[in-house]
């Protein structure tokens, strides 16, 4: 016996979807910004140069120089420390989650987009990747505004608009022609930051009289949560190290160590500077002079150099990274005009760069540093919420494929997710709800695009775990055979592909949306030719929203093979409960044998006799024939072979958007009215929608069959003994296709 599962497996992809740039400087930038799998010229970085340095330089930027003092002036020292600790709680738990995830996967192009996509699929990756792209692009505008404030301190008479356009132009052209510039000067910038910080700390000696810190501020200009929203981007930047995974010597060691070290060091710097700001200036000065760090530093030029160099390189780094995220989104058909954004010119995503440039220009003219910072906060919080949720799902599933070399307790991502969600709701419930709805809308849209995931995601594991849990519950439940949980799970034995194709639409109508179809291909004398293409037809059923699977077995005898298949499938979770067999090509012994197999295994039976000329007609009208119940027309839960026929008729009624007639022939004229009441009561109790018709006549069955209202399908009960000639005769007289039904005893139309 040979067997094959029908669910198709996607071929492994040999290459990433994003092509590596050809120029050296483009390669350097792409590796640093998005984490390509191969470092340039084989050069690999250690923890300090590859993770710690780019991460801490991204964190210690414009907010440290130009907004932390303003926050202290409004919130006081205690309020500022609380804001810093809250921000670092979110980024700290997210840092640990990122470190754990990246030590379990090979992170490809797109940073967090790649991270989420490899766990939850392209649909979820795209729904969070688009906001992350916007956050990365808007970060460029925020850093340009920071550069502007430092520049205007030196040259207050320079026109603001011209400075913004000038800096943007330099950033855009540098990225367009020499994308590695920002990364080649990182070591210089780091020395500049160290000198600037040293000058600020030494400024304590320059101040004539230290201030007594205000422990809790008056929040004169902004509320606590607005201050948090403005400051929060200062604590972001923790994902830079993760994006370097392909360029590291030992990424599974370097990413956790470098990221957490940068997180801890930057938190110490921000906390210590909060104390410094509270000591060197009054709250009024801090609120009114955004460049107080320059004025109170030991050497003001050092702080100015730190501001300008940090802001410029950060703007350049963000502008290099964001188009590559957009290009990666385009290469996976996530965004509109994907082919345009996915296109590379000499290895560079210049189409994506041009679009990102327009985005940054719009942000520059519509907002200021504070406004952009608040928008960034919402985007980053959503990103961290998703990352922590991804790890929490992986942790709780406890699949064998989840083997990170850096493992953290499950409560860490839970705490990070709850903290992120709480911050979103508290900062702006309306904006938070809108942001979440945007992500949900993007996810729904992408779910309908039939995206081709190049990775094996955790979603299949999630569904498998749910199914496993459900199967155990069903197996141990005393109500495992509940009538209310019944749905049509068909077993279809076929010896030729054409049988499956010929009944494709009808089978879908019988089971959609909750039922299933198990196709068993019976291969005679190892001749696979008649069954070629069965799997393709089953895949088409899956695309039509039907849960379908197939297996092919060696068969020497139809009935024995069917009996074996039923016995094996009874042990599966989605075990069939009804056998569906077309009567064409089946003799009396075959049909009786199928009925016996079904009865022995407590399965229902559907024998389908297709009319050779009209088929299923317009697929609109169904005649359901109820046999004579004389002398007692009494409704009960143990109806004589009516339940399955009624349930199947209802399923067809819904999928065809059709009309249902109930017909019955009585042997006694006085039973006509009683039978009509019985059928009306049956329809009401079975909760069949209004619009059905009831026809009860006193006549002979075959006589009334000839003049009965025409239908696209006639449904009849099936006796314990099959009469093949009678089935053919009824099909001819009804002038339509017919379905002959036998209960298994596990169905109830009244449940």
Residue 493 phi/psi, 5° resolution? -80, 130
The whole-angstrom separation of Cα 30 and Cα 37 is: 10
Domain assignment present for 618: yes
Exposed e or buried b for every residue in 185-203, given b needs 16+ CB within 10 A?
ebeebbebbebbbebbeeb
Q: What is the pLDDT of residue 455?
A: 58
Domain presence at residue 404: yes
637 against 385, higher pLDDT:
385
Say how many CA atoms lie within 13 Å of 628 toward its Cβ.
15
Tell me which residue range forms the domain holding 508: 480-576
Query: Average pLDDT, stretch 229-256?
Result: 75
Sheet holding 489-494, edge to edge: 547-555, 516-524, 489-494, 578-582, 604-609, 737-742, 713-717, 621-625, 659-666, 693-698
- State yes or no: pLDDT of 258 exceeds 80: yes
Q: Are residues 230 and 278 in the same domain?
A: yes
Task: Supply the pLDDT for residue 216.
Answer: 93
pLDDT at 27: 39
Is the distance from CB of 78 to CB of 298 less than 8 angstroms?
A: no
The string of DSSP letters for 528-551 reads -GGGTTHHHHHHHHHHTT-EEEEE
Q: Phi then psi for 45, rounded to 5 degrees?
A: -105, 155
Query: Do 427 and 319 fall within a single domain?
Result: yes
Scan for tokens 């979603």, then name that residue.
459
Q: Are 561 and 653 found together in one domain?
A: no
The answer as to whether 542 is a domain residue is yes
Give whichever of 446-450, 469-473, 715-719 has the largest mean pLDDT. 715-719
Instruction: Answer yes or no: is 723 within a domain.
Output: yes
Count of structural domains, the chain: 3
Tell me the per-residue pLDDT of 543-595, one tens digit each, with 9 for 90 and over: 998 989 998 888 888 898 898 888 888 766 668 999 999 999 899 999 999 99
Q: List, for residues 3-18, the tens digit of each pLDDT value.
A: 333 333 333 333 333 3
Asked if residue 494 and residue 432 are part of one domain, the reply reads: no
Query: In the predicted model, what is the mean pLDDT of the chain?
Result: 82
Task: For residue 585, tell me if it sits in a domain.
Answer: no
Q: What is the pLDDT at residue 434?
A: 81
pLDDT band at 116 (very low <50, low <70, confident <90, very high): confident
Q: Do 630 and 698 fall into the same domain?
A: yes
Of residues 41 and 380, more confidently modeled: 380
Q: Answer whether 516's CB lies under 8 Å from 546's CB.
A: yes
Pair 430, 484 in one domain: no
- Report H helices in 398-533: 411-427, 429-447, 459-476, 497-502, 504-511
Query: Helix H segments across 103-223?
Result: 112-120, 122-154, 160-177, 181-184, 186-202
- pLDDT score, position 477: 53
Contact 105, 399 (CB under 8 A): no
Same domain for 259 and 394?
A: yes
The per-residue pLDDT for 595 is: 95
For residue 529, the model assigns a pLDDT of 86
Residue 147 structure tokens: 């550069």
Q: Give the other-Cβ count within 10 Å of 687's Cβ.
A: 9
Task: Say whether both 365 and 508 belong to one domain.
Answer: no
Q: Between the ranges 112-121, 503-512, 681-690, where is the mean pLDDT highest?
A: 503-512
What percent of the chain has pLDDT above 90? 33
Distance between CA 195 and CA 605 in Å, rounded? 84
Q: What integer pLDDT is reported at residue 183 of this predicted model? A: 59
Average pLDDT, integer, range 427-441: 82
* 133 within some domain: yes
Q: C-alpha distances in angstroms, 522 versus 395, 586, 715, 751?
A: 43, 15, 28, 36
Q: Copy the structure tokens of residue 544.
A: 């039509």
290 domain residue, yes or no: yes
Over residues 225-229, the mean pLDDT reads 90
List, for residues 586-615, the tens digit of each pLDDT value.
999 999 999 999 999 999 999 999 999 999
Residue 54 and residue 96 in one domain: yes
pLDDT value of position 282: 92
Distances (CA, A) of 7 to 469, 521, 542, 578: 21, 15, 9, 21
Q: Of all helices (H) and strands (E), which one includes residue 569?
A: helix 558-569
């Amino acid at each position: 016996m040979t067997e094959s599962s029908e669910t198709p497996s996607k071929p492994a992809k040999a290459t990433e979807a994003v092509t590596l740039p050809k120029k050296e400087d483009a390669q350097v930038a792409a590796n640093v910004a998005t984490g390509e799998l191969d470092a340039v010229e084989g050069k690999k970085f250690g923890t300090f140069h590859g993770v710690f340095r780019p991460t801490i330089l991204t964190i210690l930027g414009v907010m440290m120089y130009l907004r932390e003092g303003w926050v202290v002036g409004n919130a006081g020292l205690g309020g500022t420390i609380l804001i810093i600790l809250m921000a670092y709680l979110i980024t700290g738990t997210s840092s640990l989650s990122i470190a754990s995830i990246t030590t379990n996967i090979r992170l490809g192009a797109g940073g967090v987009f790649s991270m989420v996509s490899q766990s939850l699929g392209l649909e979820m990756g795209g729904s969070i990747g688009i906001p992350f792209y916007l956050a990365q692009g808007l970060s460029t505008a925020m850093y340009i505004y920071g550069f502007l404030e430092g520049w205007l301190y030196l040259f207050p008479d320079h026109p603001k608009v011209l400075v913004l356009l000038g800096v943007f132009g330099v950033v855009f052209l540098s990225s367009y022609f020499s994308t590695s510039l920002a990364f080649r000067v990182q070591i210089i910038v780091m020395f500049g930051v160290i000198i600037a910080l040293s000058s600020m700390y030494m400024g304590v000696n320059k101040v004539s009289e230290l201030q007594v810190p205000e422990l809790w501020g008056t929040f004169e200009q902004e509320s606590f949560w607005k201050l948090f929203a403005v400051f929060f981007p200062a604590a972001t930047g923790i994902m830079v190290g993760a994006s370097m995974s392909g360029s590291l010597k030992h990424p599974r060691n370097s990413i956790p160590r470098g990221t957490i070290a940068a997180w801890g060091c930057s938190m110490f710097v921000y906390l210590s500077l909060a104390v410094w700001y509270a000591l060197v200036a009054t709250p009024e000065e801090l609120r009114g002079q955004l460049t107080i760090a320059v004025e109170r530093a030991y050497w003001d030029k050092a702080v100015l150099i730190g501001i300008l160099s940090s802001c410029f390189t950060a703007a350049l780094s963000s502008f290099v990274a964001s188009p590559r995220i957009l290009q990666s989104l385009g290469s996976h058909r996530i965004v509109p005009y994907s082919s345009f954004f996915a296109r590379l010119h000499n290895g560079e995503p210049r189409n994506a760069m041009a679009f990102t440039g327009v985005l940054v220009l719009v942000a520059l003219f519509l907002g200021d540093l504070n406004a952009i910072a608040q928008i960034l906060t919402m985007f980053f919080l959503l990103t961290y919420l998703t990352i922590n949720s991804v790890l929490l799902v992986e942790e709780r599933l406890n699949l064998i494929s989840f083997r990170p070399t850096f493992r953290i307790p499950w409560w860490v991502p839970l705490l990070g997710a709850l903290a992120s969600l709480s911050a979103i709701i508290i900062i702006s419930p309306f904006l938070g709800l809108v942001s979440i709805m945007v992500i949900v809308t993007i996810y729904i849209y992408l779910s309908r695009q039939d995206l081709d995931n190049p990775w094996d995601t955790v979603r299949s594991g999630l569904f498998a775990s749910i199914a496993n849990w459900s199967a155990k519950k069903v197996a141990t439940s005393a109500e495992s055979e509940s009538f209310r949980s019944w749905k049509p799970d068909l077993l279809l034995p076929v010896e030729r592909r054409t049988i499956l194709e010929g009944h494709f639409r009808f089978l879908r109508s019988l089971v959609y949306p909750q039922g299933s179809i198990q196709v068993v291909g019976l291969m005679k004398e190892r001749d696979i030719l008649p069954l070629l293409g069965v799997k393709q037809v089953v895949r088409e059923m899956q695309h039509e929203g039907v849960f379908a699977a197939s297996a092919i077995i060696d068969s020497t005898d139809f009935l024995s093979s069917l009996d074996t298949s039923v016995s094996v499938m009874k042990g599966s979770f989605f075990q069939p409960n009804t056998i569906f067999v077309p009567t064409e090509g089946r003799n009396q012994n075959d049909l009786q044998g199928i009925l016996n197999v079904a009865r022995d295994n407590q399965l229902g039976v559907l024998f389908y006799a297709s009319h050779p000329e009209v088929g299923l007609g317009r697929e609109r009208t169904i005649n359901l024939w109820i046999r004579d119940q004389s002398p007692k027309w009494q409704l009960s839960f143990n109806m004589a072979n009516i339940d399955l026929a009624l349930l199947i008729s209802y399923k067809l009624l819904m999928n065809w958007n059709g009309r249902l007639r109930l017909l019955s022939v009585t042997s006694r004229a006085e039973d006509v009215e009683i039978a009509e009441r019985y059928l009306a009561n049956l329809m009401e109790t079975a909760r069949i929608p209004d619009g059905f018709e009831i026809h009860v006549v006193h006549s002979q069955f075959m006589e009334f069959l000839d003049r009965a209202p025409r239908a696209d399908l006639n449904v009849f009960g099936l006796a314990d003994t099959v009469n093949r000639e009678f089935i053919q005769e009824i099909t001819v007289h009804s002038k339509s296709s017919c379905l002959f039904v036998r209960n298994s005893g596990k169905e109830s139309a009244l449940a």
